[in-house]
Structures are given as structure tokens and as C-alpha cells.
Amino acid sequence: MKASIKIIVKYFIGMVYLLLLSACNKFLDERTSHSSKVPSALSDLQALMDAEYVINLGGYPFLLEAWTDNYHIDSKRLSLMTSFEQSLYKFESPEIYPPSNLGVWSNSYKPIAISNIVLENLKKISLAESEEGQNIKGQALFMRAFGHFLLAQVFCLPYDKNNDNSGMGIPLRHTADANVISTRSTIKETYEDILNDMQAALKLIKENNGYPSRANKVAVYAALSRVYLAMELYKESEQAASEALTLYSSLIDLNTMTNLDARIPYKTNNAETIFLACSGSSLVTQSKGSLVTEELLLMFEENDLRLRSYFMKEKDGGYSFKGDYAGIGSGTIFCGFTTSELLLNRAECYVRSGELEKARRDLNVLLKNRIDKASFKPIVESDREKLLKIILDERRKELINRSARWLDLRRLNRDMRFKKTLVRTIIEDGTEKEYKLLPESKNYVFKIPRQVIDLTGMPQN
């Protein structure tokens, strides 16, 4: 009986990889052999990398915003949710994921699986060494690294530059063979692999690939800047951000944005988007009753136009988030890259290295495009500590629901100046109860679904 269950579970998880080609059929040339469905030309492989419903929309962990301090849910609304969602809201991480939520693991490995399919099939194509072949290889390496990085933010503890990082990382997938079951790497090995793929991609990928849903050199630099920031390697993060901004630095000026008050004010692939990627959310959705915390709202000055472009007043008087950079709405969590994130990355790195004038310059470039021009006053703070606090606050305000706050909490919790205890107050059976996520808690990582643990035998978080 156990053997049969194991086969069924193995089949289920294996299908994550085996079904990818059929899921991407509409992107493939109709002339591809229906008997084999094996990509046989560069156009087929590029079509796989353009599979937007895996590469751009949905193939990433929905837990990236679940444990942040940017939102809260009313106790009555919470009581109507599933036990899984209630547990998540209480900073608990269940091992048993309902079938509808297993995508946090399986869907997140789909972009990686596509990348491996492309990389393996490139070896069989005569034009693999051509400029276009190398460009496709660069896209695949970028996607594999990006997928692994986001999974690492959910399923392994943060990288610690002052530690040997010998703790448990994630299973690293380097093959499209569904029969190969990967074991967990160390945290060190996980980040080394991510950086190796990113650096290799940088040498191959084109500077411009046509549109933001297809990765290019700017996206790779932007990804490196985020990865290095998560690793607290600030000089490297600044250098990568600078390379990206040299190639592309367009910003949206909210002073000239005519639809600030619209329900979905930001367009898909807007001017700031470097790479489009997003996931759904299990908790941070208007339909679930998720509201922005008062603490966060009070951080915005009255003349900040993001108050109009980001938030919408609800009937109960609270505010929900509407400023989705994917231009989709419905609780979408953007996890791609934008020029505004790069400016904030670089500003933080500059101030940490003592280059305050450069830090203020980047910060003011952003704020000039966010604050009402009639009352905009440049930041002139000359105290290094105070300026760093201003920049970190701007990160929280600007990058709400952009998969940045969780990463920031994880790295800043090692700094006595910025570590924070997250608290959620819930009324249960008429009694007010507090649930906390402590800054040094080993709970800053989520449980891997029990179904995966049972199949692979890998150790649980």
C-alpha cells in the first residue's frame, strides 16, 4: 500500500516536469512533431522561454508576502478562511498543504524545469552556438537561477555572510529528467549555484530582447543586485544595480500619470518594468479582506502620490492595496524587477559605503517622481544613520507587494538597529490573542509540503 502511494505521489510531482511541453503547446510551432513534442529548432526553444503562464505569470512562490508587516486581516474575515490560511496568518507553517496550495512548490519549479528542457535540447541543435542560440541559453540560465533564488527565500534560512552557510538549502534542479529526485543542497551551495548561473547568463544574453516578459542583460544585472543585497554583499549589489541602470533607467512620473485613482492604475509592462514576473497570493488579496496596516499608511506624507496610485479606501474605512505593477490586480504579487527597486538598492549600498551624496541623488531621483511637484523638497539628510533609515523606509513604501519586504526583514533582522518583532492580533472565542514572529526565530522559513518530504526523504525545515 505504501509503495502504491509513493508511486502516485512521485507521479504527481514528476508531472510538474513532464507536462510542461503540453502546457506550452500554444507557444510552440504547430508543425512540431505531434508524436514526439520534442523541440527541434531554436524557435521552439524560444517559444518555451516565452511561455508566459509559467515564466511570467504564476510560476513563483505565493508565500513571498505572507509573513510581512504590510497587511492585516480582520478577525471575522480570517475566521472564514481555510485552516491552512489561518495558520499562515498566525506565523505558523503547516506541513500539510491542501492540493490547491501545492503550487507553492510544484509551480515554482516549473520555470526551472522549462529552463532545463531548453538547456538540454540546445545541445542537440546545430545552431546552439549561434548568437540566437547563445541568447536563448542565457535566458534559460537566468530563469533557472531566478527560480532557485525565489524558492530559497521561502524554503531555506537567509544567507549569512558571517557564517559558513552549511544549513539546509533547496533541491537544485539541473536536469529535465523527472525520474531524478534531487536532495537538498546547503545554503552556500544554493547561492553559489544561483550566482554561477547568473554570471554565465550575463555573458550570453542580449542587451535587449524586445519586451519585458523576456529576460535580457538588464534583467540579469537587476537580479544580481537583488541576490547580492539578500546576501548583504553591498558593494557587489551596487555595481550590478549601476550596470543595469546604465542600460535602462526609465521611471514613471506620478505627477503626469492621469489615472492615479483608477482601480488598476499601473499598466502591464509599464515603463519601469525590467522583467515581468508575478505570482498569486493566498492571503494578500482584496477579496480575502486584506488591508494595509495603519503603521505603513502613516509612513506616507500627505503629498505622496503613491497614496492614490497604491491604495483604495474600502467601505469599512480601511485601505486595500491596488498598485499592482503587473497590471492585473486580484491580489497579484509582483516579483520581477523594476528601475525603482534598482535605485533603492543602489541608494542603500551607497549610504552603507559612506557615499552619502550619491545615495541622496538616487533617492531624490525616485522621490521627485513620486511626490506632488508643487511641494517636493529634496532629501538633504547628512547623517549617515538617519539617511540609511530614510532609505529603508522608502524601500518598504515603494516596494509594497513587490516581494521585497520579506527579503528585507530576513537580512535586517541581523542588525540590532533594524530588527523587528512582527505581531498579529486576532480575536478568537471572544479573547484577543497575539501571534508573533520574532526576529531571530528559526521560523523565518516555511515548511516544505509533506507530500514532497514523503516522496524524497529529504529533511524538513
pLDDT digits 0-9 by tens, 396-440: 999 999 999 999 999 999 999 999 999 999 999 999 999 999 998
**Whose CA is closest to 225, among 362, 133, 115, 326?**
362
Domain around 271: 2-32+41-456
Supply the pLDDT for residue 181: 82
Supply the pLDDT for residue 328: 85
Confidence of residue 281 (pLDDT cuts 50, 70, 90): confident
Q: How many domains does the chain have?
A: 1
Confidence of residue 10 (pLDDT cuts 50, 70, 90): very low
* Helix ranges restricted to H, 100-230: 103-122, 131-155, 187-204, 217-230
- What 3-state DSSP class applies to 322? coil
User: Which cell numbers hold the place of 433?
Assistant: 490573542
Supply the pLDDT for residue 35: 29
Q: Is the dihedral of CA 274, 280, 284, 289 positive or negative?
A: positive
Q: Indicate which CATH number applies to the domain containing 79.
A: 1.25.40.390
Average pLDDT over residues 51-78: 92
Q: pLDDT digits over 190-232, tens only?
A: 999 999 999 999 999 999 999 899 999 999 999 999 999 999 9
Establish if 411 belongs to a structural domain. Answer: yes
- Cα separation, 276 vs 259, in Å, equals 21
Establish if 390 belongs to a structural domain. Answer: yes
More confident residue, 5 or 81: 81
Percent of the chain with pLDDT over 70: 91
Q: Which residue has the cell 492580533?
A: 425
Average pLDDT over residues 251-256: 98
Supply the pLDDT for residue 459: 95
SS3 letters across 86-99:
HHHHCCCCCCCCCH
**Whose CA is closest to 441, among 421, 415, 417?**
421
More confident residue, 316 or 89: 89
Does the pLDDT value for residue 37 go beyond 90?
no
Averaged pLDDT score across all residues of the chain: 90
Average pLDDT over residues 247-263: 96
Supply the pLDDT for residue 182: 85
Establish if 150 belongs to a structural domain. Answer: yes
Supply the pLDDT for residue 330: 67
Establish if 461 belongs to a structural domain. Answer: no
User: Which cell numbers hold the place of 9?
Assistant: 505521489
More confident residue, 441 or 261: 261
Establish if 93 belongs to a structural domain. Answer: yes
